[in-house]
Structure 1
């Protein structure tokens, strides 16, 4: 009999990318957790494949990006073709991000790397472990779990259901999961073969009989096509299905290679659903347990990972005694609107890619061509697809201080925005630094920007601010002073042992944030929590007091 324990403060149901990401980030924050998964071992394949630029930033902060790169193929562009030729070319390398690409990495490999990281941090993973039921009160959650042939009771302070589209946790909470089913049936084949197409690009062919997508795998290609209108989901028919793929390939390639026996062949239908609530007291939902959608645009796995990153730092603070219920409420307030917009955009993409009427196809193709001819529109499409433009500006958790009208709003990110990465130089050792490198420490980061040639009043404000930050906050807060010019000497009056000194040697920070005397507070997930002129430092201290307040 396995004995339950309260040692794990968080019980996570589901060992997919969402659950493992949550577990890794909780452990990085010092919160012990346990993951249970009903499968005895991970599946060797799945429909989830692509990792977008924003997700790669998260994975880099978690210390797993390099390992994932070794198991992936970078996709640097997406090409869309109509029946009359090219329509749109999206070049990911033009994105302003440290990782300007989409990584083709099967979900099974993502899970393997995340699981290795989770275990290396001391995480405990129970496989062949099924959640039977659970209950909660003001002190925590109790769950009955079947592990193999045994049933045990597990206690935790928080339970998170990251258990997919058929979530047992969501079912136990009785939460609606409303949406719609698409009429189309899709065919997916993973093939170990070569195609006469650029292997660092993804290709979509919007054909009259049904769309065909060719996506590079780390080895070989994934082909996805829409089946005939009367086709039904269910077991694949290898002979017939491969014949259909060859028929579609004939329309776009010459010559067409003989298709080998597939590594994986499946038919599937598509659903669009969204849960009504992401939280019930001490029980949360994340990933596919909250939202499912068409695989078009590769948004599902990425959105689930972002859910987990957003939730993790809030649970870390809460379980350390900070923030209270308002902090936990912000998880749904921030992430559910993102899912609503994502579902809308993916639905539009899916609908337009499966159009069959000639008039509608012609209008779609004209619009895609126009988008490709307008640089700003093309860049916006890429940033949206890569999730770099996701923001939480409407969240009650972010603030702009007394300067609410933000007359300098065109300079730097707004509260709730993703903080851009920039190159800097350490004044401690002269080595290169990147702003996103700070995120490897999963705390809030206060960036102080004195501006050009800071005068005496500015130096006094800096000294006073650094002196007044309570010592207890320094466990949750790191301070970095970013100077336009290196100071003469060590400038102890500007950073009396409480701040790192970095130099904006190439003006990269000023280009992205402006030149004024300002302060910026970056959250552990890389979004901006607060910004204000440096002269309004008192308001920052009030914000920190609200953020790090004790109790519920």
Structure 2
């Protein structure tokens, strides 16, 4: 969409205080846009690149990301007949055993460009406006709005909005303009990656091997038609950013690591990466929020960056929509920082821990020998698997005084389950497609009266994996209540969805509940 130079844009039919602007059309920004549009919020995505790059820094969708996509009815866009599951997951190159059964495809090998393509299609279907070739150059904010300065193809203009979200990567312009600190460490080593065209008739297999000076991963992509070669060298100085990455640099890096140079002719993409680890001080500064790499960067091991960004967007979308539309309980938007920053911090810590298990090999070999014994224990294996995939993420959910010990399911992502309702079998996830709250009643006497404009109600027969009289599920799939106590249920409804409709704006016995906010992530 072209803009007149120096114009200030505001639509009478959709006022600026009802609009959200997102900087960045990567997976995080596109999923967030789709979530906002699902709730009916006008959303504009600004992307500085004139067209999609086709690059694939991220290569996999972890099981937790697949579950949230399933909750929106989107997972089949990614789980296509040619999509393969990664054969293994690792922690510091210690191979972990995946659970058997329905989650056998724990990580799907989906190149980032395909993820972006599918999410952009979803965002556009819902009415998102995506402006390519438009770059954020400045911002200002007050109590009522944020004004975004933009440089577009036809010149500069201003765009007013209720909120601005920076999903514009590790070098985030939005984060810098908002003055949000990004402390951490710079890179101490670097790697080269290249996507190599596989010769006709050749077969390639996934592998990752550790050597004294670094490690090399071979990852089949695009149905085995290409091979990603990814090196890491611990004792080589990184070339300057102005030095182009070449096929020879990739060959020489592989030879230094493994002792032999690979035979390949054509690469379709080359890039360098480092191990800089940084975490934003705040995920929110007034009317500016951060998500994805704009909020956290780390060494790219285990494919955690893209997935953590998707989960940031899923957590933020419904909260921001409720806030913009004036239906959020007080403090709801602040729970985004409270819940997601601890997750980002754990990702930064676990990637640093994995690096500590890789180098220097002559000194850490005894530690690796002990660690190899530890990961044979199922409890250790599962803990590490849940750590790197995010499956173990559990948010702290406030309970009213005297409620007793929290239910084991509380704060966790609800598992999909086949339920039996009055009209027959139904999938739990299918009832989350619209992005609303959901109350599942397994017993009489519990309801969402006063909240049915925001929360759907499903009555079902008891299920062994969902051992509670009722479950209240937030729009992001996390369990906000698992209880047989009507008072606890009403507290949770007020905490996450605001005052009941018949008492909104009046004093009620539940007003104290709206002051409660969630804590961090366990």
Residue matched to 1:258: 263
SS of aligned partner of 1:115: helix
CA distance in 1, matches of 2:193, 2:172: 24
Gaps of 5+ in 1: 82-86, 451-458, 485-508
Find 1:419's aligned residue among 411, 414, 417. Answer: 414
The answer to whether residue 233 in structure 2 is matched with residue 227 in structure 1 is yes
Residue matched to 2:325: 320
Residue matched to 2:456: 478
Alignment of 1:358-437 (within 5 A): 358-364=362-368, 366-393=369-396, 395=397, 398-399=398-399, 402-406=402-406, 409=407, 412-413=408-409, 415-428=410-423, 430=424, 432-437=425-430
* C-alpha contact (below 8 Å) 1:33/1:123 kept by paired residues: yes
Displacement after TM superposition at 1:324 (Å) = 4.3
SS of aligned partner of 1:388: coil
Find 1:159's aligned residue among 140, 160, 164. Answer: 164
Displacement after TM superposition at 1:434 (Å) = 2.3
Residue matched to 1:37: 47
Q: Provide the TM-score with structure 2 as the length reference.
A: 0.86
Gaps of 5+ in 2: 506-513, 515-522
- Per-residue Cα deviation, 1:260-308 (whole angstroms, up to 9, x for no partner): 3222223332210011111112211111111101101111111111111
- Per-residue Cα deviation, 1:116-175 (whole angstroms, up to 9, x for no partner): 111111110011101121222222222221211322221111111111111111111111
CA distance in 2, matches of 1:186, 1:257: 16
CA distance in 2, matches of 1:469, 1:280: 35
Aligned-residue Cα RMSD (Å) equals 2.6
Q: Provide the TM-score with structure 1 as the length reference.
A: 0.81
Tell me: CA distance 1:173–1:363, structure 2 relative to 1, closer, same or farther (3 Å). Answer: same
Displacement after TM superposition at 1:539 (Å) = 3.3
The answer to whether residue 494 in structure 2 is matched with residue 545 in structure 1 is yes
Displacement after TM superposition at 1:100 (Å) = 3.4
Q: Does 275-284 or 100-109 show the bigger shift? A: 100-109
CA distance in 1, matches of 2:374, 2:245: 37
SS of aligned partner of 1:177: coil
SS of aligned partner of 1:544: helix
CA distance in 2, matches of 1:240, 1:11: 40
- Per-residue Cα deviation, 1:396-420 (whole angstroms, up to 9, x for no partner): xx437743224xx4xx51x212222
The answer to whether residue 434 in structure 2 is matched with residue 441 in structure 1 is yes
CA distance in 1, matches of 2:197, 2:376: 35
SS of aligned partner of 2:356: helix
Tell me: CA distance 1:54–1:228, structure 2 relative to 1, closer, same or farther (3 Å). Answer: closer
SS of aligned partner of 2:357: helix
Tell me: CA distance 1:192–1:399, structure 2 relative to 1, closer, same or farther (3 Å). Answer: farther
The answer to whether residue 217 in structure 2 is matched with residue 268 in structure 1 is no
Tell me: CA distance 1:542–1:209, structure 2 relative to 1, closer, same or farther (3 Å). Answer: closer
Residue matched to 2:509: none
Displacement after TM superposition at 1:360 (Å) = 1.0
SS of aligned partner of 1:370: helix
Q: Which has the larger radius of gyration?
A: 1
Residue matched to 2:482: 531
